[in-house]
Chains A and B, each alone.
Chain A
Amino acid sequence: GENVEQHPSTLSVQEGDSAVIKCTYSDSASNYFPWYKQELGKGPQLIIDIRSNVGEKKDQRIAVTLNKTAKHFSLHITETQPEDSAVYFCAASKSGTYKYIFGTGTRLKVLA
């Protein structure tokens, strides 16, 4: 069935360094890819998304890249700060369906 693999499951970086989280999807018809940040005790918050007609999207320190051929997309966080520490989830969906297929999550820890 459809699935989304997410790596790594945990990631520790020094403050100021970059962090990269990668997701691979199985359904080639997927065309919408959101990323969520979930802080402890809170619900997931949308931080960035990308559609399949775009290869890259950037919002300040956060960027997402998409490789449709390889069926993977990545979240890049530059100049990490302690407040970036959270669990990050990727997801994939396709037109005509409301369902998201979520990745398994990455726990990011930014060390001060």
Chain B
Amino acid sequence: SAVISQKPSRDICQRGTSLTIQCQVDSQVTMMFWYRQQPGQSLTLIATANQGSEATYESGFVIDKFPISRPNLTFSTLTVSNMSPEDSSIYLCSVRPGFQETQYFGPGTRLLVL
């Protein structure tokens, strides 16, 4: 498995502002992902964070709204840009170590946009 931390754990933000969420893993991992979990809902994949190249976004998510960085094999950031109340969600980082099929999730960042 992997130990994953996220910062901040929660935040309350004003509409129109941006928030950057950090994800740190205790070991090098090949794949890192960002998910959104809207209140009371399931998990939706936003993008795959690729080390050394641009992230791969899922349908409905764009780089201008959710820019992602992955400078090395243990760290990634997700920015939620120009926020609106509809962006209020839990944002989760997950990792897939090595060639395992299993994904492990971080504790999440709870975002409330007013």
Contacts and interface: CB of A to CB of B under 8 A. Distances in A.
Contact of B107 (A43, A89, A102): A43
Contacts, number: 44
B96 A98 contact: yes
Contacts of A41: 110
Chain A interface: which size bin? 20 to 34
B14 to A, nearest CB: 23
Interface residues of B, number: 20
Contacts of A100: 43, 45, 103
B101 interface: yes
A106 to B, nearest CB: 11
Contact of B42 (A34, A43, A89, A93): A89
A45 B42 contact: no
A48 to B, nearest CB: 11
Nearest to A31: B101
Contact of A42 (B43, B45, B108): B108
Nearest to B1: A46
14 contacts: A34-B101, A34-B103, A41-B110, A42-B107, A43-B4, A43-B92, A44-B105, A45-B105, A46-B104, A93-B101, A98-B96, A99-B45, A104-B42, A105-B42
Given A89-B42, A99-B45, 18 more contacts: A34-B101, A34-B102, A34-B103, A42-B108, A43-B106, A43-B108, A45-B105, A46-B103, A49-B101, A51-B101, A98-B31, A98-B33, A98-B96, A98-B103, A100-B103, A102-B43, A104-B41, A105-B42
